[in-house]
A and B are shown apart, each in its own frame.
Chain A
Amino acid sequence: MSPAVVSPRRFAPGDRVTVTYTHPPGHRRIPYYIRGKSGLVERYCGAFPNPEELAYGFDGLPARHLYRVRFQQTEIWPTYDGPAHDTLDLEVYEHWLSPAEEDAS
């Protein structure tokens, strides 16, 4: 965990959030398949130096908040062949998240 975290957390467990639908170049730790999808914050994981900057020799500070977000598989894959209650969890950095109500068209 890193010091120099300047921002308060935007999200809390239970919040519905949407992963930004954008495809910037460079090193990103947010898989293509989850971009634009919405899920629920399952837990707060802590604050870490931003890997997108660490990959290029920067110190990645200030640390960014990291959340574990839970998605319904049927909301990720339109043709998911399994029960509707199957889920997928992954970690998303705060700067990739927005509150689900703010879904832009």
Chain B
Amino acid sequence: MNDKAAHTHAEGHAHAILRWSDDSAHDIEETTRYPLMTEAIRQILVEKGIISADAVRHLIEQMDARSDVTGGKIVARAWVDPAFKERLLANTKEAIAELGIPEVDATHLIVVENTETVHNVVVCTLCSCYPRMVLGMPPEWYKSKAYRSRVVREPRAVLKAFGTELADNVTVRVHDSNADMRYLVLPMRPLGTEGWSEDALAHIVTRDCMVGVTVPRVPAKAHAVE
């Protein structure tokens, strides 16, 4: 589908203003700096043939399709299938491929397991690297100066801010994903979930517990969903 160029005249000059072909969902209304800047860059790069409008649209759709649901499926499978869990920890790339999840962005996923004696938490202090292929887009707090600065220095205080307190005998292990590795925390399966289906288990695996700032909780009136 080709974008239509609409001609408009402003101040005596003719402009070809490249529109999104569906002319609706991506149309901007805001005239503040950054929406304008983004659209200006998009138009210029597409007009010059440097990128295609379809490529941009496709990547937006891909972003919309990716979420922590993927991560939740991985965790739930690891909880019900101990052999899968071992494969996941030993060679994450191959194990997630079993679930039809491709590695993208040339980054490499490492799954780190929470145990009775180890609790993992992930950060990227230098920028905001994040395992997007399994968790979708990172939350604002993950990218914030406060989180990036503090979690390496005082992880227990930061975890407490998220409502997570760990006993002194538990090792808190911070992972600063400063290079090509990306981390997914495999939380411990909570008590009270015996006999639950994989779907039900995946439901209680939140993004925050796969980053490591919280742990999965069994809702008060939970029941196993078959």
A and B touch in the complex (CB under 8 A): yes
Q: Is the CB of A51 within 8 A of B174?
A: no
Query: Would you call A10 an interface residue if the criterion is a C-beta within 8 Å of the partner chain's C-beta atoms?
Result: no
With A83-B168, A83-B171 already in contact, the answer to whether A90 and B178 are too (CB < 8 A) is yes
| Set B108, B156, B171: member contacting A85, Cβ < 8 A | B171
Known A83-B171, A88-B173, A88-B174: A29·B126 in contact at CB below 8 Å: yes
User: Quick one: which of A33, A68, A82, A92 has the most chain B CB within 10 A?
Assistant: A82
B186 to chain A minimum Cβ distance, whole angstroms, is 15
Indicate if the CB atoms of A31 and B172 lie closer than 8 Å.
Answer: no
> Nearest B residue to A83 by beta-carbon distance?
B168
Contacts of B138 in A (CB 8 A): none
B178 near A91 with CB under 8 A, answer yes
Which A residues lie within 8 Å of B155 (CB)?
Answer: 73, 82, 86
**For the complex, is B218 an interface residue (Cβ under 8 Å from A)?**
no
Question: Given the complex of chains A and B, what is the CA–CA distance between A86 and B176 in angstroms?
Answer: 14
Asked if B61 lies at the interface with its beta carbon under 8 angstroms from chain A, I say no
Q: Is A66 an interface residue (CB 8 A)?
A: yes
Complex: A66 Cα to B108 Cα, angstroms: 12
* A48 contact from B157, B171, B179, Cβ within 8 A: B179
Which A residues, 45 to 70, have Cβ-Cβ distances below 8 Å to chain B? 45-46, 48, 51, 66, 68
The answer to the question of B116 belonging to the interface, with a C-beta cut-off of 8 Å to chain A, is no
B175 and A90 form a contact (CB under 8 A): yes
Cβ contact within 8 Å between B178 and A29:
yes
B214 on the A face (CB < 8 A) = no
B residues 75-108 in Cβ contact with A at 8 Å = 108
**Which residue numbers of A lie inside 8 Å of B, CB to CB?**
29-31, 33, 45-46, 48, 51, 66, 68, 73, 76-77, 80-83, 85-93
The 5 A-B pairs of least Cβ separation, nearest first, read A91-B179, A90-B176, A88-B174, A86-B172, A85-B171
